[in-house]
Amino acid sequence: MIALGADHGGYALKEAIKHYLDAEKTAYKDFGTFDENSVDYAPIAAQVAHFVADGGAELGILCCGTGIGMSMAANKVKGIRAAVCANAYCAEITRHHNNANILCLGGRVISEEQAVEFAKLFLNAPFDGGRHQRRVDEITKIEQGEL
């Protein structure tokens, strides 16, 4: 299960990613928005982030104008490692090295085709573990006030 969410600035990217997931027969839950009317991004980011953190979805994808606002909001939820990616390398490596669980994309930064490419890379890349696990554990320590 993949959790999806977007504000008006990322709506078109989310819809393109949904078409890709449908073609791949990958289950997803869409938390909105459901059109291009202006909405605030933080409540949508919170819904997706809590759903991922609580185990409802393995991964999430959030889209807004730049990806930055969604990332900032999602990263406030304990257990979330949301990464803004504007190129294919970062979309893949954030899973390999950071075990990111939410990909954030910007509708004013990348094309729909790029969004699908980045989603595909993100969703199919495994976490490498090893030395990277120690670093992810340090992120958790920050979250818990231990570092």
Residues designated catalytic? 64, 97
69 annotated as ligand-binding = yes
Distance CA 12, CA 36 (A): 8
132 annotated as ligand-binding = no
Q: Are 82 and 64 in contact (CB under 8 A)?
A: no
Closest among 69, 124, 133, 74 to 98, alpha carbons compared:
133
131 annotated as ligand-binding = yes
142 annotated as ligand-binding = no
* Tokens read off for 91: 């979309």
CB atoms within 10 A of CB 147: 10
107 annotated as ligand-binding = no
135 annotated as ligand-binding = yes
Known binding-site residues for D-ribulose 5-phosphate equal 7-8, 65-69, 98, 108, 131, 135
